[in-house]
């Protein structure tokens, strides 16, 4: 029986992350036992190995033959642990192993190239200005619903040719899927499965509409014309791609925008730097991504006995990769790694390739360029126009061991020009 690490932090309990990410706990593990065997409640998958150093995280991420995303899934929610639900979830690209993962990833990668994303910038810019126009004169807003949720939903729905009247319905379904840990939302596994089924229905409606009036250059066009080993995607494969691409694109960028704004509010001197030097906003976005990543962890399953960081991991053991821990390592990011500094890229030119917010290896986030572009455009509109922002009360956070989201964040501000 594997000996437990003497430092135990209940990392899979969603309540552990409900107020703030446990950076002190991550620091202890990183320094004392970076590959540590942790206790986990059965409802959250049981005991597991916690990975908190980049070298070990990269090794696991880049060796899918040794660490599977499919056996117990990269992240098992939404859905149940019964064999049928698990098999359905394995059809999502996030839960695939090579060579199958590589074949399916090729289907969508052309839709998310830098050139394709850059072509969307004028559309993003116009919409971002509209978003800020709606709240600026009031001097107050509920930032999550009125600002941070709007851009990613608009962009991905445009890419998927989704009619405007379906956007909010779709957003609610995504919220149901990611809210299964949060007791306030009272969402069951069955609710999550039902939400996924409803998203499948939307996907099929959009497919029918696109076939009747096809438009090139959209993600849905790419999916419908995608070919794997000489065969087009079937209906189920198309729907699973649609589900993971849209859910991931909407929630992660919303979280990054909300947490980024919170960081600027809590560090007004950093906000002022961006007001004085708006050219630094892309650097600030990279620091936001490093400091508070949109995913807390992903998991893998050891396919055989393997040594990582001097620890013997056994076949079948769960391994969880904690991205916030890696992103705050002072050995990588300096003695001030626990500080939020929008000028960090000035000292660390390769920051975007050093943090692991978008993962690494074959499962590196295919939409990373899109997310970065959306965040830059949004903060280029937010920073000069929502001056001196302040929180009204505290943030209302999502209770989750997966996504450090904010459900509500009321703010007031002075309107800039």
3-class state of residue 169 by DSSP? helix
Query: Torsions phi, psi of 244, nearest 5?
Result: -75, -35
pLDDT of residue 141: 97
3-class state of residue 396 by DSSP? strand
Q: Is 380 left (phi over 0), alpha (psi -120 to 50) or beta?
A: alpha
DSSP state of 34: S
pLDDT of residue 342: 98
Half-sphere exposure of 96 (CA within 13 A, CB side): 18
78 prior amide bond cis, ω within 30: yes
Q: How far apart are CA 54 and CA 309, in angstroms?
A: 11
Query: Torsions phi, psi of 242, nearest 5?
Result: -60, -45
pLDDT of residue 120: 86
* 8 Å CB contact between 314 and 49: no
Half-sphere exposure of 175 (CA within 13 A, CB side): 19
3-class state of residue 52 by DSSP? coil
Which residues of the chain carry a pLDDT beneath 50? none
Q: How far apart are CA 145 and CA 140, in angstroms?
A: 13
Q: How far apart are CA 357 and CA 346, in angstroms?
A: 19
Pairing outcome for strands 406-408 and 318-322: unpaired
Q: How many residues does the chain have?
A: 417
- Alpha helices per DSSP H over 147-213: 150-159, 167-178, 189-212
* 8 Å CB contact between 68 and 303: yes
pLDDT of residue 80: 62
Q: How far apart are CA 353 and CA 214, in angstroms?
A: 37
User: Which residues, other chains included, contact 172 with Cβ-Cβ below 8 Å and sequence gap of 6+?
Assistant: none
Query: Torsions phi, psi of 17, nearest 5?
Result: -110, 5
194-210 per-residue burial string, b: 16 or more CB within 10 A, e: under 16: bbbebbbebbeebbeeb
Could you tell me the pTM of the whole model?
Answer: 0.93
DSSP state of 282: H
Instruction: Catalogue all structural domains in the chain, each as residue range(s) with its CATH number.
Output: 14-389+404-415 (1.10.630.10)
343-375 per-residue burial string, b: 16 or more CB within 10 A, e: under 16: ebbeebeebbebbbbbbbebbebbbbbbbbbbb
Angle at 176 between CA 133 and CA 11, to 5 degrees: 105
DSSP state of 151: H
Q: How far apart are CA 347 and CA 359, in angstroms?
A: 22
Angle at 247 between CA 63 and CA 219, to 5 degrees: 85
pLDDT of residue 168: 78
99 prior amide bond cis, ω within 30: yes
Of 98, 81, 73, 242, the C-alpha closest to 174 is 242
Angle at 314 between CA 310 and CA 319, to 5 degrees: 75
pLDDT of residue 180: 66
């Amino acid at each position: 029986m594997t000996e437990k690490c003497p430092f135990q932090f209940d990392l899979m309990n969603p309540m552990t992350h409900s107020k703030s990410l446990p950076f002190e706990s991550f620091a202890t593990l990183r320094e004392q036992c970076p590959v540590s065997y942790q206790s986990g409640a059965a409802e959250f998958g049981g005991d597991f190995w916690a990975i908190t150093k980049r070298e070990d995280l990269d090794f696991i991420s880049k060796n899918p033959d040794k660490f599977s995303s499919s056996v117990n899934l990269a992240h098992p929610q939404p859905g149940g642990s019964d064999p049928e639900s698990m098999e359905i979830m394995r059809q999502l690209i996030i839960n695939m192993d090579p060579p199958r993962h590589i074949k399916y990833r090729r289907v969508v990668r052309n839709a998310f190239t830098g050139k394709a994303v850059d072509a969307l910038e004028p559309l993003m810019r116009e919409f971002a200005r509209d978003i800020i126009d709606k709240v600026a004169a009031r001097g107050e807003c509920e930032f999550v619903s009125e600002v941070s949720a709007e851009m990613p939903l608009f962009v991905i729905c445009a890419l998927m040719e989704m009619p405007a009247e379906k956007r909010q319905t779709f957003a609610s379904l995504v919220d149901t899927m990611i809210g299964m840990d949060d007791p306030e939302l009272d969402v069951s596994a069955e609710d999550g499965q039902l939400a996924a089924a409803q998203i499948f229905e939307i996907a099929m409606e959009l497919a029918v509409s696109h076939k009747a009036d096809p438009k090139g250059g959209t993600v849905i066009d790419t999916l419908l014309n995608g070919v794997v080993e000489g065969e087009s995607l079937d209906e189920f494969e198309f729907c699973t791609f649609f589900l993971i691409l849209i859910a991931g694109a909407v929630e992660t960028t919303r979280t990054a925008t909300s947490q980024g704004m919170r960081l600027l509010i809590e560090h007004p001197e950093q906000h002022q730097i961006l007001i004085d030097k708006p050219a630094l906003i892309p650097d600030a976005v990279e620091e936001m991504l490093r400091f508070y990543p949109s995913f807390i962890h992903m998991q893998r399953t050891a396919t055989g006995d393997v040594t990582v960081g001097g620890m013997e991991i056994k076949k079948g053991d769960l391994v969880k990769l904690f991205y916030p821990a890696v992103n705050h390592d002072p050995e990588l990011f300096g003695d001030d790694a626990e500080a939020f500094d929008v000028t960090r890229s000035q000292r660390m030119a390769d920051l975007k390739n050093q943090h692991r917010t978008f993962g690494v290896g074959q499962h590196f986030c295919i939409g990373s360029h899109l997310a970065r572009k959306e965040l830059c455009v949004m903060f280029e509109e937010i920073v000069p126009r929502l001056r001196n922002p302040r929180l009204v009360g505290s943030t209302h956070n999502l209770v989750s061991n997966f996504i450090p989201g904010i459900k509500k964040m009321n703010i007031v501000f002075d309107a800039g020009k």
